[in-house]
Amino acid sequence: MPVQVKTATIDIIHMESITLSRQGLYNLVWTESMLALSKKYDISVVGLRKMCKRNDIPIPKGGHWMKIKYGKKSSRLKLPATTASKEKITLEIRTEKSEAEKAANQIVDDPIQEELEERRQKEVKGLIKLLVKFNRWQQTQQLREYLSELEKKAIYENNHTEEFQSWLKRAREKTDWLDPMIERKDEWLDCFDREKVITRANQKIDFK
């Protein structure tokens, strides 16, 4: 179904709106990037994504607009049949900007820039996740060394009792549970988040 516009043209100055069918919104998000559409219509990228999800409308994956720019093929995901709510989709058109404002937003509206920014955010999130796991692994390595030193001390002081050995065994099991390279199952600890345990230990905050 074609886009229904309340005025004869979209090239207007005052706030107007367009009414879309599900098919119309699908065509729209595969014609321009989410960021470009959020600049043209009074809706955020997040809001537009939610609208598409609510209506079971597939959206372009990362890299789609980059491929299009360089003349490469990027297949369009088919619009599936759905029993989802067939809501009336209305988008408000943003007020026309001055030439200066358009020039200032020219780079931001570029779908390639949008994809590059998404990739940057994905990369930094991956790095943070890697560093978090590394820090947890490093602390478990130091913890094992500490436990070994405690065992040596107990032997030297003739305090290597059955009670101490039982405690040491359990301490090493907890270390294996915490180690990101092992993540041993533990019936007493599996209900806790390992990263939060590390954070609280570093901040000396007890679990309540």
Quote the mean pLDDT of the chain.
82
Smallest CA-to-CA distance from 190 within 182, 204, 206, 178 is with: 178
pLDDT digits over 144-168, tens only? 999 999 999 999 999 999 999 999 9
Q: Which two tokens stand for residue 181?
A: 């390279």
Residues 38 and 29: beta-carbon distance below 8 Å: no
Q: Are 176 and 182 in contact (CB under 8 A)?
A: yes
Domain layout of the chain by residue ranges:
4-95, 117-203
* Whole-structure pTM value: 0.50
CA distance 33 to 110: 8
Given this model, what pLDDT does residue 148 score? 96
User: Rounded to whole angstroms, how far apart are CA atoms 57 and 74?
Assistant: 17
